[in-house]
Amino acid sequence: MYKVAIIWLKIILGFIFSVCVMVLVISYALTGTVATDTLEIVITEATGLQHQEVMFSTDLQPLLIVNVFWFSILVLAFCLVFMYFLDLKLKAFLAPGVLSLLSIAFLQLIFGFLRGFIPPEEEIAATGYVYQTMERADHASLVVVGLGVVLVLVSYFGHKKLEAWRKKNSSNAKA
């Protein structure tokens, strides 16, 4: 029963970790918001009627975006610490490392899809803001990919070094 609870905790923490990675990238991308703006996703009919339907609408508030950014960093750190203390092994960092890489791959697929619908910068004045947002999302993605790679390397090489150190100290304690 105890092992099942540990497995479920790891699954839940992994899910929270991957969601926070995506929230981190998106909130960092939106940090360029300096005033309360409204973000809308509008669907336009392809017929001659040109009817528009608002699919998503939200108000972007700069302070809220910055708070969400820092909160997501806090939750990421909490998840990493909690996952380590569940196993007390550095191999616990393998799953968050892989999850961060997969989450960024998923986000980059979505951003690549969205970039196909953004008109050139010369056509609409507001696209400069959209291009800056996408550029900040790419920068945050690179940082998270670096974090994922570091976590995978720490889980692999750090585990070997820590186990060798533990063996050496346990043999010294017996002698």
For the chain, domain boundaries: 2-33+62-174
pLDDT tens track for 122-147: 677 667 778 888 999 999 999 999 99
Query: Which is it for the CA torsion 131, 135, 140, 144, positive or negative?
Result: positive
Q: Which three-class secondary structure state does DSSP give residue 139?
A: helix
Mean pLDDT of 22-40: 85
pLDDT at 6 over 70: yes
Q: Label each residue of 142-172 as H, E or C.
A: HHHHHHHHHHHHHHHHHHHHHHHHHHHHHHH
Token couple for 138: 């790419």
pLDDT at 155 over 70: yes
The amino acid at 154: V
**Could you tell me the pTM of the whole model?**
0.82
The amino acid at 93: F
Find the radius of gyration of the CA atoms of the chain. Answer: 22
pLDDT at 95 over 90: yes
CA angle 46, 48, 50 (to 5 degrees): 65
Q: Is 138 exposed, middle or buried (0-12, 13-18, 19+ CB in 10 A)?
A: middle
Confidence of residue 175 (pLDDT cuts 50, 70, 90): low
pLDDT tens track for 34-91: 777 777 777 777 666 777 778 778 788 888 899 999 999 999 999 999 999 998 889 9
Q: Calculate the average pLDDT of the chain.
A: 88
Mean pLDDT of 152-165: 87
